Chains A and B, each alone.
Chain A
Amino acid sequence: MSRAALLLLADGRFPAGGHAHSGGVEAAVAHKAVHDIYSLEAFCRGRLHTTGLTTAGLAAAAAAGCDPLLLDDAADARTPVPALRAVARRLGRQMMRAARATFPSAELDRLAAERPQGAHQPIVQGLAVRAAGLTPKDAACAAAYESTGGPATAAVRLLSLNPLDASRLLARLSAETDTVAAAAADAAARVTTEGLDVLPSASSPLLDITGEQHAAWTMRLFAS
């Protein structure tokens, strides 16, 4: 197992398409709910403990070897709006392409064949982490980090914030990110004995509503 492999998979420059998505922050900026570094931190904290926890659980379970097709259904049941399901699958398709190029594995090939339109992104991410010889906890950590890293970077562009403030914000959230990742990995470890229902399904009403609103915009900077 290689630490550097995890850094590569979690790097914003890994060509998996994440940079084109704001994780809901573009809609929140438009509604003036996020307007400075403090409201951005509140946004990131809320996203980490809802979507972040849920995706980290799915990623960890995929990395632990749970059936990715069952996980894909579990992800659908945890994503009640079509716009966010479409985003998750599009990101999954892009992640699949990058993952198969970097960490080829039979499991990734099989999922790509079963879900040609793309599986939910955290499941592909979990399989990629597995293919790289890393642990479910690593997958959870990458997914949880991404749940705040994406919106923070997007908000810097949308609000012309100081990138140093945004990095400080992410550093402040790092202990909480670890806690969320640990909770997600614990849940994933219990799947074999207790079933998929133990995976987190934390959700946020506003991310669902504004995700669908954002998809209906004609002019936008980010794809979601």
Chain B
Amino acid sequence: MSAGTQLDRPKAAFDPASPPTGTEETCGHPDGVRATARIRATYNGRVTTLPELRSDGPFHLRRMRTGGRAATVGVIGAMSAPLGGDRLALDITAEDRAELDVTTAAATLALRGPTTAPATYDVRLSVGEHACLRWLPKPLISAADSNLHQTCTVNLAATSQLVLREEQILGRANEKPGHLVSRIRVHRAGRLLLDQHTAYGDPEPGWDGPAVLDGHRAVGQLLVVDPELDLQRAPVLLRKGTKDGCAVLAPLAGGPALLATAVARTSSALRELLNEALGHAFGE
């Protein structure tokens, strides 16, 4: 990252024009960026509109052109983040009957910052009745010596639809990964649907062993929640071995939801597996 970006960072953190609106963030490292970006989509009876589109810190939000009733927002990285000590959050809400697609323009690269303290990156997704949210960001890359705690908290109504993809790449080409801790929690109609916690990279014990990643450096999930899903089918296994990556697509216990879990050697192989899983989720 360039020296110029470094000089800009404290300014972004303390810019009085954009005070941090998060209520819980209080302990960011003085060098860290604190930013909460918000997207709120509503349905006006004809199309989905975006009454709130609040860029902040590294998240520059841009409305993309679309046809039909859905709205699409692109999250464009406005600075290098997350770095150690940063406190980042992204709040995305699709209110009742809204249809919202959110993507990111580039991979998110977690780098070591001015401190080895962890950065936090919290994504909060909220989907109303008969609303649909597709959150399909580009991969998160855990670069050497980075330290990131990521959470994804999802609240769904009983009739919500969701497509969520998460891809984690452990290290850029041929480097050791940083320390990446993630937790995803999904509630549907007030009930817990999925709770998973993963922790990769040193100093986590056993993370690269045959019970967890076995040398794979790309790991991802695809979650599809849709009240119309047919859940009576058998789990789908993609690739029988494990050497060149493999995935499983299977129904969750607590609701109309399918989860694909995949591991692969490379990000492209991972994407291929998750795309295949997506095809199976909606195709058959």
Interface residues of A (CB under 8 A from B): 24, 28, 31, 33-34, 39, 42-50, 73-74, 76-83, 85, 176, 196-197, 200-210, 212-213, 216
B193 contacts across to A, CB distance below 8 A: 77
Cβ-defined contact, A176 with B205, below 8 A: yes
Q: CA of A196 to CA of B192 in the docked complex: distance in angstroms?
A: 10
Q: Are the CB atoms of B210 and A28 closer together than 8 Å?
A: yes
> Please, how many angstroms separate the alpha-carbon atoms of A80 and B248 in the complex?
10
| Interface residues of A, dominant DSSP | helix
Q: Mark B173-213, 1 if CB is under 8 A from A, else 0.
A: 00000000001010000011111111100001111111111
Query: Looking at chain B, what size class is its interface with the partner chain?
Result: 35 or more
Inter-chain contacts of B253 with A (CB < 8 A): 76-77, 79, 82, 85
Nearest CB of chain B from residue A204's CB, rounded to whole Å = 4
Interface residues, chain B, with chain A CB atoms under 8 Å away: 183, 185, 191-199, 204-214, 216, 219, 235, 237, 240-243, 246-248, 250-254, 259, 261-263
> Cβ of B210 and Cβ of A42 under 8 Å apart?
yes
Taking a contact as CB atoms under 8 Å apart, the answer to whether A31 and B261 are in contact is: no
A42-B211, A46-B212, A50-B211 as given contacts; A209 in contact with B246, CB under 8 Å: yes
* Chain B min CB distance to A17 (Å): 21
CA–CA, A176 and B193, complex, Å: 30
Whole-angstrom distance from the CB of A50 to the nearest CB of chain B?
6
Which of B205, B250, B261 is in CB contact (< 8 Å) with A45? B205
Most central of B193, B196, B197, B205 by chain A CB within 10 Å: B196
**Contact call A206/B237, Cβ cutoff below 8 A:** no
* CA gap between A165 and B168 in the complex, in Å: 36
Closest A residue to B186 by beta carbon equals A77
**CB closest residue in chain A, given B220:** A205
Q: By the criterion CB–CB under 8 Å, are A47 and B192 in contact?
A: no
Which chain A positions have C-beta within 8 A of B213?
205-206
Q: Which residues of A contact B240 (CB under 8 A)?
A: 213
Whether A46 pairs with B207 at a CB distance below 8 angstroms is yes
Contact status B197-A201, CB under 8 Å: yes
Contacts of B247 in A (CB 8 A): 209
Neighbouring A residues of B242 by C-beta, 8 Å? 31, 33, 206, 209-210
Residues B252 and A48 in contact, CB atoms below 8 Å apart: no
A residues in contact with B235, CB < 8 Å = 81-83, 212
Q: Within 8 Å CB of B210, what residues of A? A: 28, 31, 33-34, 39, 42-43, 46, 206
A81 surroundings in chain B (CB, below 8 A): 235, 248, 250, 261
Tell me if B214 and A33 are in contact (CB < 8 A): yes
The 8 Å CB contact of B185, one of A45, A197, A216, is A197
A-B pairs, 9 with minimum CB distance: A46-B211, A42-B209, A46-B206, A33-B210, A45-B206, A76-B253, A46-B209, A46-B212, A201-B195
